[in-house]
Amino acid sequence: MNDLPPYPPIDPTTFDLIVIGTGLPESIVAAAASTASKSVLHLDPNPFYGSHFSSLSLTDFPSFLTSHSLSTSPSPQSNGHHNFTVLDFATRPLYSSLDISSFSPHLLHQHSRKFNIDVAGPRVFFCADKSIDLMLKSGASQYLEFKSIDATFLGDDKGNLWSVPDSRAAIFKDKSLGLMEKNQLMRFFKLVQGHLAGEQGIKISEEDLQSPFVDFLNKMGLPPKIKSFILYAIAMVDYDQEDVGVCRDLLKTKDGIDQLALYNASVGRFPNALGALIYPIYGQGELSQAFCRRAAVKGCLYVLRMPVTALLVDKDNGCYKGVRLASGQDLFSKKLILDPSFTVPLPLGSSPPHPLQEKFPLCSLRDDRGKVARGICITKNSLKPEISNFLVVYPPRSLFPEQVTSIRLLQIGSNLAVCPADMFVLYISALCNDDDQGKKLLHSVMNTLLTVPVSINSESNAAVQSETAESSFTAQSDAGEGKPTLLWSALYIQELTLGQVEFICSAPMPDGKLNYNDLVDVTVKFFEEIYRNEEFFPEASSEFSEDDGGIALET
């Protein structure tokens, strides 16, 4: 026990709430609890904020993923204590099939620190998102700056990117739709707007609202192209809506209309925003950090680089007492929230059944929501000349017949401070059932849009290949044609775990969505479960007036 790192002792030792891990849900709850005048200790074993929601440099990124790809069993029972049982934490693997390839190590090594790679990409905000409202309400928005995503495209297997006609002006400008299609689409938008505004004579019937959205679109006589735009590029649906067999999530008209309403409310919410979507400067990791700063202002205590080793449980009633830090210090609190990577294995063979068994569904925590395949690519050329920040959606079956889910790709350029000048970071994601399927989805997009240098090498032997790869890259970009060449890529499959609210709580992992709305919903419920009598960021909590509390949008 003598070779423990010199962790500083924490004082006081008793809190209302201890939060371990600075992922977004944990950070929001920490800020909300601090705002509600709870004493909160927020710990993170990592030296950075954000955990599974962080944005990392090119060197930190692989080590973070690798460290969460393995499961660790707890070391033998730590020192006991006369008042409580000490249960050592184990970690479970959250990422699998991690595959990192570098084709230009020298170039990237030089700039490694200039990258802010989102672990949970692709992510954007709709301007009218709940998460935006939450940032405004909580005051977290003052620590963030955003920029507009310039465009949304629908991709096809030929590598074409079609503008999504998502507004009146965009329909007018669109070059791919015929005059009749423009008329049909605009009339559909007007119908939806009229319905939402409660205009007289425009009302979508209750029967239609309860029917599948795709049936309603068919009923409106919309051609397949327009249906694709609406379902996958505006409502951002994941599963193939026209194949009931594989569709796990058939969107109802009611929910489809809500999605359109969100999109519609987003376009033009902020005068500086070009479209519906915005992205935070320096990456998504800023978001968790903003809530942490908010929490700190409200009195939350922060300690980074502080691993926790064990859970302290009351010997008699099995109730949670506190945690043991890597420093050996024991800290106590009424409530605990854990990073999703932690599990608490129960002592084996304890009989009669340990009283904890009933109280620890944590150990069996697994959910059937499948996985999300994520891919990150770095290139030196934009996929689309003249614009750097945009979203591309590949609807189901658009790339290959067995593609059952939408694949989304977000390109972010250096003007969002996520990479060095003249480079671009591409985030790809798709829901999948298993690793092979996920990888296939990612590869299909990469092959459509990018030139992948022939010698695929993992990090280990990439150095040898680098020179040839770099020269071939130069040759191609000089030719000025064809697809951008891949400089670096990371592909991984992430587990989708739900949050858990029991007598100790486990925060959820990033979901497969494009925005944070579902996560915010879960987090609000989380908070309400823990603090039934407290208001989640009461209005008055913000000392900033409406005028100061806007969203900072750079143009």
Q: Which residues form the interface with other proteins (CB under 8 A)?
A: 168-169, 171-173, 179-180, 182-184, 186-187
Nearer to other proteins, 172 or 400 (CB): 172
Nearer to other proteins, 187 or 366 (CB): 187
Nearer to other proteins, 1 or 179 (CB): 179
Instruction: Give the Cα separation of 53 and 22 in Å (integer).
Output: 8
Nearer to other proteins, 179 or 421 (CB): 179
Q: How many other C-beta atoms are found inside a 10 Å radius of the C-beta of residue 224?
A: 11
Nearer to other proteins, 173 or 525 (CB): 173
What is the separation, in whole angstroms, between the first and last Cα of the chain? 54
Nearer to other proteins, 1 or 180 (CB): 180
Nearer to other proteins, 184 or 414 (CB): 184
Beta strand 500-501 with 407-413 is: unpaired
* Least distance from other proteins to the Cβ atom of residue 9, Å: 57
* Least distance from other proteins to the Cβ atom of residue 191, Å: 12
DSSP secondary structure string for all residues of 283-315: -THHHHHHHHHHHHHTT-EEE-S--EEEEEEET
Residue 407: exposure state from Cβ atoms within 10 A (0-12, 13-18, ≥19): buried
Instruction: Give the Cα separation of 519 and 281 in Å (integer).
Output: 21
* Least distance from other proteins to the Cβ atom of residue 169, Å: 6
Q: Give the H or E element holding residue 397.
A: none
* Least distance from other proteins to the Cβ atom of residue 275, Å: 13
Cα–Cα distances in angstroms (integers) from residue 229 to residues 175, 181, 395, 396, 449, in the given order: 14, 12, 9, 12, 20
Nearer to other proteins, 174 or 511 (CB): 174
* Least distance from other proteins to the Cβ atom of residue 272, Å: 11
Instruction: Give the Cα separation of 268 and 250 in Å (integer).
Output: 29
- Residues with Cβ within 8 Å of residue 361, at least 6 apart in sequence: 500, 502
Instruction: Give the Cα separation of 342 and 67 in Å (integer).
Output: 12
* Least distance from other proteins to the Cβ atom of residue 25, Å: 39
* Least distance from other proteins to the Cβ atom of residue 183, Å: 5
* Least distance from other proteins to the Cβ atom of residue 308, Å: 53
Of 39, 18, 15, 30, the C-alpha closest to 537 is 30
Six token digits for residue 96: 């699998």
Nearer to other proteins, 109 or 182 (CB): 182
Nearer to other proteins, 182 or 225 (CB): 182
Nearer to other proteins, 186 or 363 (CB): 186
DSSP secondary structure string for all residues of 65-99: HHHTSS-BPPPS-----SSEEEEE-EE---EEEEE
Contact 410, 122 (CB under 8 A): yes
| Length of the chain measured in residues | 555
* Least distance from other proteins to the Cβ atom of residue 142, Å: 25
* Least distance from other proteins to the Cβ atom of residue 292, Å: 37
* Least distance from other proteins to the Cβ atom of residue 171, Å: 5
Residue 356, amino acid: L
> Cα torsion for 128, 131, 137, 139, to the nearest 10°?
-120
- Residues with Cβ within 8 Å of residue 339, at least 6 apart in sequence: 20, 21, 23, 26, 44, 51, 52, 506, 507
Q: Is the peptide bond before 361 cis (omega within 30 degrees of 0)?
A: no
Nearer to other proteins, 12 or 550 (CB): 550
- Residues with Cβ within 8 Å of residue 189, at least 6 apart in sequence: 168, 171, 260, 264
Q: Give the H or E element holding residue 310.
A: strand 308-314
* Least distance from other proteins to the Cβ atom of residue 180, Å: 6
Six token digits for residue 22: 């600075």
